[in-house]
Structure 1
């Protein structure tokens, strides 16, 4: 046992030394109080770089895996709750009074591969053999940066995007709530600085437009592999989107379920209002860096209007032009978002 522990410690030391050496060669920036490194086209927060490298190196996808992909603050928590509820709905009574979402945060039910599963694994691969099928995971990694095993398998990827205005504002508020940022007093000058970073692609797991385009293009090529969802559409037509999502995942709603209003019950169970009222999301913690309650802020479409000046909004609007030129079309958010 002592020999194994020494071996593990040595492997961890070697990995950390390799990462430190790698960091010296990578372009770097800062995001609030954290260094970020540009690794294979992806901006990685320093404390997650080890997890990203381990995930890319070791993860072996199963054909039955379901992976939620997204940028931070684009509906991740909401989609985790919806996916978990859809896949596991037959295990619980129709009223969902004993549902795990009532006692566990969605991020504890569907873990992020680079943030949780492969973070600080002491140079070893985590044992995923006991996870029942279908395995449910999440990632913020861009499509181009995913491990080949995900791309080459038949596993299904659910991608959710959100308009860049609300995405930025939500990220802005989220990181300011982290414990290491509690002493920061934000002002317009600071917001201008971070809007410029965001629009230049320098934000966690960015660039934004590369991230969106990667999954969007793949969803067009292979509709059996990737479903591309828009946050705004989910808000506008939740039942229709939930039905479409369930069919993609291979767990379609039966006629009996539809008659028994199961779709509506899941929509209500997983609504932001419902999740915010659950005790685990009021007082629980997933991390020493923040409380669960900061994962659920407002979730409104167009909330950015209260925070962005017209100048900053115009700056972000330019990102949409980049997306349009690349061929991206949106059903919900790419028109009439800028108000005069």
Structure 2
């Protein structure tokens, strides 16, 4: 699907996988109500402090890093292994195989990755589109305490 068409549909609240903002808010609210069961992370947080997020995730899963693991750099290694750079370099994510699942044809795995940089949207949509998306985001999340 062309980006302009997908953008227009998204702005109207139409998404192939359901109502995006409603999904975000459901998980956000669940993370506030049951923080021991739902961990809400934002990509920006992960990019800003991947080691801290690895620690947070380990605690959430009930297996915090031990002092020995901390001393030997295990959180840093987990963050490195889960990094965008590592994941995009895996052979499975570079294959040019097209998966056919019934009526849905998916592009090569590598098509699901861009640069992995916060703010890279500016290289793909216009400033006006970005401003409109910001306005829709603020409107949809108003009063929830969730912000992007």
Choose 1 or 2 for highest CA Rg. Answer: 1
TM-score class, shorter = 0.7 to 0.9
- 1:295 maps to which of 112, 117, 135: 112
Structure 2 CA distance for partners of 1:326 and 1:263, relative to 1, 3 Å: same
Q: Any stretches of 5+ residues in structure 1 without a counterpart?
A: 1-31, 33-185, 335-340
1:211 equivalent to 2:23? Answer yes
Who is 1:280 aligned against? 92
Who is 1:252 aligned against? 64
Classify the secondary structure of the residue corresponding to 2:55: helix
Shift of 1:282: 1.9
Who is 2:103 aligned against? none
Tell me how large the CA RMSD over aligned residues is: 2.0
- Which aligned pairs between 1:1-340 and structure 2 lie closer than 5 A? 32=1, 186=2, 191=4, 193-283=5-95, 285=97, 287-288=99-100, 289-330=106-147, 334=148
Number of residues of Structure 1 aligned to a counterpart in Structure 2: 143
TM-superposition CA deviations, 1:73-107 (whole Å, max 9, x none):
xxxxxxxxxxxxxxxxxxxxxxxxxxxxxxxxxxx
Classify the secondary structure of the residue corresponding to 2:35: coil
Shift of 1:232: 0.2
Contact map agreement 1:209 1:322 (CA 8 A) in 2: no
Higher helix share: 2
Higher relative contact order (CA 8 A, sep 6+): 1
Contact map agreement 1:269 1:275 (CA 8 A) in 2: yes
**Distance in 2, Cα, partners of 1:218 & 1:206:** 18
Classify the secondary structure of the residue corresponding to 2:94: helix
**Distance in 2, Cα, partners of 1:263 & 1:237:** 11
Per the normalisation by structure 1, the TM-score is 0.39
**Distance in 2, Cα, partners of 1:305 & 1:299:** 13
TM-superposition CA deviations, 1:196-226 (whole Å, max 9, x none):
2101210122322111100001111111111
Per the normalisation by structure 2, the TM-score is 0.85
